[in-house]
Amino acid sequence: MPTYRYELQQESGDLLVGQLAAQSASGAAHALKDRGGRIVRLVPMQVSEISALKRFWAFMNAGSGPSKRDVLDFTTQLAVMVRAGISLRVAIGGICEHVENQKFKVTLTSIIEDIESGCTFSDSIAKYPKLFSPLYVNMVRASELSGSFGHMLDRIAKIIARQIETQKMIIGASIYPGVIGGLATVVTIFLLTFVLPRFAGVFAGKEDILPWPTIFLMALSAWMVIYWWTVPIAITCIATSLMFASRTERGGIIIDKVKLRVPVVRKMLRALYIIRSLQTLGELVNAGVPMLDALEVTGNISGNRQYKTLWSDVGEGVKDGRRINEVLVETTLLPKPVVQMISAGEESGKLGDVLEEISEYYDRVLRDAVKTFTSLLEPAMIVFMGGIVGFIAMAIILPIFKMSAVVSG
């Protein structure tokens, strides 16, 4: 049974310090409430005695990092406990006990110690941007000022749940073409390196009567047998080059522009970027975050440099005293009806609600785009794979028929 170190402020004002054994932090808090007074501090002894060096080694040896699902579970549980009246420190400590991911447990332990040292929760989680996004941090910071912490955590949990659902939808749409494309590649390599070389002896010396598909494939097959190792090297070099290019400002801009111009995919990606942008801006506006800060966070979360530049331009326009829709009317990244609805939201003073409604609409648009993408891609990939296999089969069969005709003649 774990032991907790507590500090209990009695009604007389005296501070009572001691230790208490309990099954969980909530059990310890319940036992202390029976004694009367206010719980100032409740710390599992094994957590409080971990040094910074031990936490570092625990983090390095804890295995895989926490997922977005871990953050969602943490946020949901924290919202329930805060609304139940449990102090933030005790609530996080209780959640930390049952966290399975060891790296996340180390992170929560560090957050607990930051809170104990006087840091706000928003400042503590801001140290972990890979886990807690700028949207998460800014919404928490706004709720700390307004006193709506539990309610805001509920809204954050719903946002994370939608993000996870959207991510699953996108990944699900990409699995099928990935499998078919990989299968087509494996079949093509097998035919070129194992099947076609068997016909090299049959076609030797008869190059004059071979059709061009057979000549082309036989040359490609001979090259693959000898220089096959250049293929994985070339793929690795291309992937690495694209990765490094995407990390540069100029390369990233070019890649993001291409994403918005690829047929079929562009509609899906455009809907995704609009959802991220408008949902983020709407939530931050409703949370009471200053408009310039909200626009900056929106640009960083949008996921595309062109949209990031758009929201940066909007921020500059707001600084100059212009309205949001006056800047957006000049762009082609947002449909005109969306700009008109944003204008109506500004005029009515309900911009946050309007932005959330637009993001919900585009969430449905994204789902329809994904369904359209998968329904079009399935027959296209089948035709593509059948075309490759058919072309190779034709290149093998045609010269055999031609040689048979020459022998018969």
For residue 8, give the 3-state DSSP assignment.
strand
In whole angstroms, give the CA distance from residue 359 to residue 275: 5
Asked whether this chain's domains 50-132 and 162-409 adopt the same fold, the reply is yes
Question: Is the domain defined by 50-132 classed in CATH 3.40.50.11540?
Answer: no
What is the strand order of the sheet 38-44 is part of? 15-21, 3-9, 38-44
pLDDT tens, per residue, the chain with 409 residues:
566 767 777 666 666 666 677 777 777 777 777 777 777 677 675 544 444 444 555 555 555 678 889 999 999 999 888 888 888 888 898 888 888 888 888 899 989 888 888 888 988 998 888 889 888 988 888 888 777 788 888 988 988 898 888 888 878 777 877 787 788 788 888 888 888 887 777 777 676 777 888 888 888 888 888 888 888 899 899 989 888 888 888 888 888 888 888 877 888 888 889 988 998 898 888 888 889 888 988 888 888 889 999 999 999 999 998 899 889 988 888 999 999 999 999 888 888 889 989 988 988 888 888 888 777 777 888 888 888 888 888 888 887 777 766 555 5
User: What pLDDT sits at residue 341?
Assistant: 92
In whole angstroms, give the CA distance from residue 192 to residue 183: 14
Tokens of 236: 């690795």
Contact indicator for 36, 10 with CB cutoff of 8 Å: yes
Strand 38-44 relative to strand 3-9: parallel, antiparallel, unpaired? antiparallel
Contact indicator for 125, 131 with CB cutoff of 8 Å: yes
Q: Where are the domains of the chain?
A: 1-49, 50-132, 162-409
In whole angstroms, give the CA distance from residue 81 to residue 94: 9
For residue 4, give the 3-state DSSP assignment.
strand
Q: List Cβ neighbours of 266 (8 Å cut-off, separation of 6 or more).
A: 259, 260
- What phi and psi values does residue 320 have, to the nearest 5 degrees? -85, 0
Contact indicator for 359, 278 with CB cutoff of 8 Å: yes
The angle formed by the CA atoms of residues 233, 236 and 237, to the nearest 5 degrees, is 85
| Overall fold of domain 162-409 | Receptor-associated Protein (1.20.81)
